[in-house]
Structure 1
């Protein structure tokens, strides 16, 4: 990656919504029904990355909209509990959105998202969020899909300091991001992180290394691409990596719930860069954090520094 200072803060403009989680024995057929577990509600979406970073010693701040109803109240309470600053006041235009998360017995999860005020730039907008020169700025592909918010984020990214580290996770909706928005963000990105399925959608190839090569050619020369590959770990391409990329393995665990595993990976990766680790070392810690996260039920299950170090040592 190009030279830049180690991040001193994670500033996320990734939307935070309420996660309504239900464990199900299987997904119902179209038009069918299934009995699930009692629902649990917690902050989700962009919250998970901020929590993972904060638990691993990196100052974190939320720069998105949050509403005035019960979902917004829950989000703010969870932010306070993690020591994460909310930089915008509660929106008077409505409540935060929510996501229904259906988790099957093997840990796979399926989402249905209902947007709220976080899908719009708001009255003050991103202009009220001047990023610092040593900030790591996180952007989610969910937000880039929103008709109002996506173009606003793309325009705001163009104003970032050259020394700020832009981190993008396009997420499951990677193929739905408008090309004009996607191209603008990819032209500035420093760290692009996505899972194998998402890489295949973006590159049009199911072959991991072929997909990674196609994506890397769309990024700035010094950008780092991280393709998360579940239990296999992750592949690092670009930056200072070897021409063929570098595969970083993950610890073997029994997965219970994969919700938030990618977020744990990203938050710990950025926190590890902030602690002075190089990308391969940061990826090893991020792999371990994601592995530990999938052994627990719920969205924000990233470990803290002490627990992560004990897990790695074991």
Structure 2
């Protein structure tokens, strides 16, 4: 089995629970706090690791206080980054979780958003057959390097999770990514924005007409919808008591990538992904423990 190259960020999540987002000059007290690893690439790779599917996490680790914490926490999980840099520190994300589980991020970006094509050696290229990219990295200063990389390696299946900042990426960059026929993964709001539609079904058709590949749209408790080969399919969701929604989308696409590498159909992959993301929203933070993942009883092969 070949590997998936997971390009993107690993950051320190500082998670605080609050009743509501503060207004200007308001003084509020938090209900609790914790620190955990986060970042789109890390979250997706961590799920792939739990499925025992091979991957390479290309998420730079820098030099500084946050970098040391991130590297140490990765090592505790038996994970590592393929790139270490001495140019700057890693960033962090202040995750404010309201009592209904909705989350708001305030982010400081660091070295984890850097990318250079030469980091991927010829040996590494031969070991992989797919690549994951996310919107935040494309928006950053090295976004064009990522796009050039996927253009220069057309043999890779591209998985693209643009996230909530579609309008910040720019049409020129998006057009170049879409020309690579990615499997695209969005939530309902993102899909309707991109597809310029008023419902997810029409959005999926519109996006598919541009990418010519599978479109996956997550629908929260209602499951997920995917459109491929001219047909739309709704995969029912799983019941969950929402603690917070941090990392649910990343876990969803991570499960899909792992399942596709294991030979499952897209429908089977999304069914698994719905179960995993429901479990993620039921716990605090973006990651499941090994025991929590084991309780899902998902076969790894």
TM-score, normalised to structure 2, is 0.91
Give distance in 2, aligned partners of 1:203 and 1:302.
36
Cα distance per residue 1:243-293 (max 9 Å; x no partner):
340111111121111111111111111111111111100110001101111
Q: CA deviation at 1:52?
A: 0.8
CA distance in 1, matches of 2:42, 2:81: 11
Distance 1:302 1:177, change over 3 A: farther
Residues 1:189 and 1:279: Cα distance change in structure 2 (over 3 Å): same
1:296 alignment counterpart: 283
TM-score w.r.t. the length of structure 1 is 0.88
Deviation at 1:194, TM superposition (A): 0.9
User: Which secondary structure state, in structure 1, belongs to the residue aligned with residue 297 of structure 2?
Assistant: helix
| Distance in 2, Cα, partners of 1:305 & 1:190 | 28
Is the aligned partner of 1:157 residue 2:150?
yes
Instruction: Compare the two structures and name the one with the higher helix fraction.
Output: 2
User: Match of 1:53?
Assistant: 48
Taking the TM superposition and a 5 Å limit, the aligned residue runs for 1:1-314 are 8-45=2-39, 46-89=41-84, 91-121=85-115, 125-130=116-121, 131-132=125-126, 134-146=128-140, 148-162=141-155, 164-219=156-211, 221=212, 223-238=213-228, 240=229, 243-301=230-288, 306-309=294-297
Whole-angstrom CA distance in 2 between matches of 1:309 and 1:177? 38
Aligned mates of 1:285, 1:302 — CA distance in 2: 17
Q: Is contact 1:57–1:305 with CA below 8 Å preserved after alignment?
A: no
Any stretches of 5+ residues in structure 1 without a counterpart?
Answer: 1-6
Unaligned runs of 5+ in 2: none
* Aligned twin of 1:3: none
Give the match's secondary structure for 1:39. Answer: strand
Select the structure with the greater relative contact order (CA < 8 A; seq sep ≥ 6): 1
> 1:78 and 1:135, CA in 2 relative to 1: closer, same or farther beyond 3 A?
farther
- C-alpha offsets along residues 16-56 of structure 1, whole Å, 9 cap, x if unaligned? 12111111111112343321134322221121111011011
CA-atom RMSD in angstroms: 2.0
Cα 1:196–1:252, aligned 2, differ >3 Å: closer, same or farther?
A: same
Contact 2:63 2:89 in 1 (8 A): yes
Q: Deviations over 1:190-213 (max 9, x none)?
A: 311011111122223331111111
- TM-aligned CA deviation for residue 296 of structure 1: 0.5
